[in-house]
Structure 1
Amino acid sequence: MKNLIVNELIKWIKRPSFYVMSGILVLLSIIGVVLTIMVGPMMDGMNSSNEEQLNWRETLEQENQYLESSIIDGDERETGHLERQLAINEHRLEHNMEPSSKTSVWSYIDENLGLTSLITLFVVIIAGGMIASEFTWGTIKLLMIRPISRSKILVAKYLSVLVFMVIFLAIFFITSFITGAIAFGFDSTPFLLYLNGEVYEVYPLLFLLLKLGLQSIGIVMFATIAFMISSVFRNNSLAIGISLFLLFTGTQITALVSMKFEWAKYSPFANIHFQTFLDGMPMVAGVNFWFSVVMFFIYFVILHVVSFLTFVKRDIAA
Structure 2
Amino acid sequence: MFKWGMLVYNELLKIVKRKGFLVPLLLLFVPVLILGNWDYIEYQQALQTGDWQENMKLDIARKQEELRAFGQADSPTADILRQEIAVGEYQLAHNIPPYSEHSVFGFMNSAVVLTSIIGVLLIFYASSIVSKEHSMGTIHFLLVRSASRTSILWAKFAALAMLYMILSAVLMLYSFIQGVFLYGKIAFDSVVVTAVGNIAVTESMMMATIKAYMLDFLPMLLFAAIALCLSVLLRSSGPALITTLLLFLSKGSLAQLLSKYEWSKYVFVMHTNLRMNIGGLGGQTETMFSIAVLLFYTALFFLIAFFAFQKRDIA
Alpha carbons of 1:224 and 1:175: their partners in 2 closer, same or farther (altered >3 Å)?
same
On the 8 A contact 2:191/2:203 being kept in 1, the answer is: yes
Residue pairs, 1:165-180, within 5 angstroms: 165-180=164-179
State the percentage of identical aligned residues.
24
List per-residue Cα deviations over 1:205-225 (Å, max 9, x = no partner): 111111221122221111122
* Residue correspondence of structure 1 range 264-283 to structure 2 within 5 A: 264-280=264-280
Which residue of the partner structure matches residue 288 of structure 1? 286
Distance 1:165 1:191, change over 3 A: same
Once the two structures are superposed, residues 276-299 of structure 1 have per-residue CA deviations (whole angstroms, 9 ceiling, x without a partner) of 1244456xxxx9212212212221
**Counterpart secondary structure, 1:191:** strand
Q: Please say if 1:27 is aligned against 2:26.
A: no
**Given residue 195 of structure 1, which amino acid in structure 2 is its aligned partner?**
V
Q: In the TM superposition, what is the alpha-carbon distance from 1:55 to its structure 2 partner?
A: 1.7
The reply to whether residue 15 of structure 1 matches residue 18 of structure 2 is yes
Q: Indicate conservation of the 8 Å contact 2:122/2:160, yes or no.
A: yes
Show the 5 A alignment for 1:298-309. Answer: 298-309=296-307
* Aligned residue runs from structure 1 range 46-85, under 5 A: 47-48=49-50, 51=51, 55-69=54-68, 71-72=70-71, 76-85=75-84
Structure 1 gaps of 5+ residues are none
Residues of 1 paired with 2:225 and 2:120: CA distance?
13
How well do the aligned residues superpose, as a CA RMSD in angstroms?
2.4
The one-letter amino acid paired with 1:93 is L
Q: Residue 123 of structure 1 aligns with which residue?
A: 122
Tell me how far 1:27 sits from its aligned partner. 2.8
Q: Secondary structure at the match of 2:102?
A: coil
1:88/1:194 contact within 8 Å kept:
yes
- 2:218/2:294 contact within 8 Å kept: no
Structure 2 CA distance for partners of 1:146 and 1:109, relative to 1, 3 Å? same
1:228 aligns with 2:233: no
Q: Contact (CA 8 Å) 1:84, 1:279: kept in 2 or not?
A: no
Alignment of 1:150-161 (within 5 A): 150-161=149-160
SS at 2:98's partner residue?
Answer: coil
In the alignment, structure 1 residue 2 sits paired with structure 2 residue 5: yes
| 1:40 Cα offset (Å) | 4.6
Provide structure 2 residue ranges, at least 5 long, that are not aligned to the other structure.
Answer: none
Note closer, same or farther for the CA distance 1:254–1:171 as it changes in structure 2 (3 Å cut). Answer: same
> Which residue identity does 2:105 align to in structure 1?
W
Q: Which amino acid aligns with 2:240?
A: A
Q: How far did residue 81 of structure 1 move? A: 2.0
The alignment partner of 1:16 has SS state of: coil
Contact 1:193 1:278 in 2 (8 A): no
User: Are 1:109 and 1:177, in contact at CA under 8 Å, matched by a contact in 2?
Assistant: yes
Q: Is the 8 A contact 2:194 2:279 kept in 1?
A: no
Residue type of the alignment partner of 1:134: E
The answer (yes or no) to whether the contact 2:196–2:280 under 8 Å persists in 1 is no
TM-score relative to the length of structure 1: 0.87
Tell me: CA distance 1:289–1:72, structure 2 relative to 1, closer, same or farther (3 Å): farther
Distance in 1, matches of 2:77 and 2:172, equals 30
Displacement after TM superposition at 1:196 (Å): 4.3
What do the CA deviations read for 1:213-263 (whole angstroms, capped 9, x no partner)? 11222211111221222221101212212221221223322321223x222
What is the Cα deviation at residue 75 of structure 1?
A: 6.1
Seen in structure 2, the aligned counterparts of structure 1 residues 252 and 160 have a Cα distance that, compared at 3 Å, is same
3-state SS of 2:235 partner: coil
Specify the code of the residue in structure 2 equivalent to 1:5. V
Q: Report how many residues are paired.
A: 308
SS at 1:288 equivalent: helix
In terms of mean alpha carbon deviation, does 27-36 or 220-229 score higher?
A: 27-36
Question: Pairwise mapping of residues 215-254 of structure 1 onto structure 2 (< 5 A)?
Answer: 215-254=216-255
CA contact (8 A) 2:103 2:183 kept: yes
Distance in 1 (CA, whole Å) between partners of 2:308 and 2:314 is 11
Q: Secondary structure of 2:71's partner?
A: helix
In the alignment, the residues of structure 2 paired with residue 307 and residue 9 of structure 1 have an alpha-carbon distance, to the nearest angstrom, of 19
